[in-house]
Amino acid sequence: MPRHTARRRLRTRALLAAVLCLVVAAVLSLMIGSHPIAPHEVWHLLWHPDDSIESSIVHAQRLPRTVLAACVGASLGVAGAVMQGLTRNPLADPGVLGVNAGASLFVVVAVAILGTLDVDSYVWFALAGAAVASVGVYALAGTGRSSTPARLALAGVAVSAALAAITQTVILADQEAFNEFRAWVGGSLEGRGWSILGGVAPLLALGGVLAGVIAPALGALALGDQAAHGLGVHVARTRVLALFAVTLLAGASTAAVGPIGFVGLAVPMLARRVVGHDQRWVTACSLLLGASALLAADVLARVILGRQEVQAGLIAAVVGGPIFIAVVRRRKVAAL
């Protein structure tokens, strides 16, 4: 059997396994909570809703929450894959663009100055903050040939630090802003309904399509700018499109549920170890694994303390952090 055929079969099996993980995680998300519901009952209520409490729980609470968690997790996984391919750094994540810092600052300002206390309104302020931060990072990193992965990463660190300092200043001066920020910054899917999903879904879809389109070009960029030029890749345009895709994916995700750490960092790293360095396969695998990871974190968040729910972002950090450290210590991390 030719080597490339065996590799393709291995990658296909990996994707099928990732699909199975996603299905299992979604079923568990619909079943598990303060009011457990049996799998067969969930299946029946999905297609035949009635006036029962269980039907209300499935359709009004768990179904939109499950779909949103899958979409956000998939988006963060893809955003991380794009960011790592763009910077040629396997330890990069969407936060390098200042997305989380920008979203956090705008949420705090909305609460402290405008008195915004509605979760639905957070979405638009957070999305605007993520976009402004990304544009600032790109402008600071330079354009054209002066823009390099190293400069982009340094610009992201600088902008994130500056925005975080401003955010801390605002929340220390305003108690109400501090209380709202504390509830939002942990990353939670509780209370998120179809309205929030409907607001961010077009942005997530556009970002996902764009990430898929530029995946081959990002794979060429991994060989270096000169090699990519030789292969016919427009480096500057690819870099701009990649930044735009990450801003849409990570910005809309952060706006919808708050900052979620380690999904955009650890999931693409795991995907790359499973399917290799082909950016197309890494993007597809990151999409599936990211959705499964956030769904699993959300399920754990509901049951780990009994009837008291924990924020999913905290679970993702607690579980993902040690796994990430173990992967890094077990194997030397090389540049892409």
Confirm whether 284 is domain-assigned: yes
Comparing C-alpha atoms, which of 204, 234, 200 is closest to residue 216? 234
193 found inside a domain: yes
**CA-CA-CA-CA torsion sign (170, 172, 174, 178):** positive
Residue in this structure with the two tokens 């870099």, named with its chain if needed = 239
DSSP assignment of 37-48: --HHHHHHHHHS
Enter the tokens of residue 287.
């999409």
Q: CA 274 to CA 83: how far, in whole Å?
A: 18
Look at residue 33 and tell me if it is in a domain: yes
In a domain, 62, yes or no: yes
**What is the count of structural domains for the chain?**
1
Establish if 108 belongs to a structural domain. Answer: yes
Alpha carbons 34 and 303: distance in angstroms, whole number: 7
**335 within a domain of the structure (yes/no):** no
Task: Provide the CATH number for the domain around residue 191.
Answer: 1.10.3470.10
Per-residue pLDDT in tens (0 to 9) along the chain, 336 residues: 566 777 888 888 989 999 999 999 999 999 988 788 888 888 888 888 888 888 888 888 899 999 999 999 999 999 999 988 888 777 778 877 788 888 888 888 887 787 766 666 777 888 888 888 888 887 887 655 555 667 777 888 888 889 889 988 888 887 777 777 777 777 888 878 888 888 889 999 999 999 999 999 888 887 777 777 777 778 888 888 988 898 889 888 888 888 888 888 889 988 988 888 888 999 999 999 999 999 999 999 888 877 778 888 888 888 777 766 766 666 555 455
Q: What does the DSSP 8-state code read for residue 62?
A: I
- Tell me how far CA of residue 212 lies from CA of 130, 160, 188, 189, in angstroms: 21, 27, 27, 26
Tokens 């609470």, residue located: 61
What sign has the CA pseudo-torsion 328, 211, 316, 110? Answer: positive
Stretch (H or E) spanning 12: helix 3-31
In a domain, residue 295? The reply is yes
**Is 336 inside any structural domain?**
no
- Backbone phi, psi, residue 308, to 5°: -90, 125
In this structure, are residues 242 and 218 in contact, taking their beta carbons and an 8 Å threshold?
yes
3-state SS assignment for residue 5: helix
Residues linked to residue 308 through DSSP beta bridges, in sequence order: 305
Structural domain boundaries enclosing 178: 3-330
Our measurement of the distance from residue 73's CA atom to the centroid of its chain's CA atoms, rounded to an integer in Å, reads 5
Please name the amino acid found at residue 33.
G
- Residue count of the chain, please give it: 336
245 φ, ψ to 5°? -65, -45
Closest CA to 271 of 83, 80, 86: 80
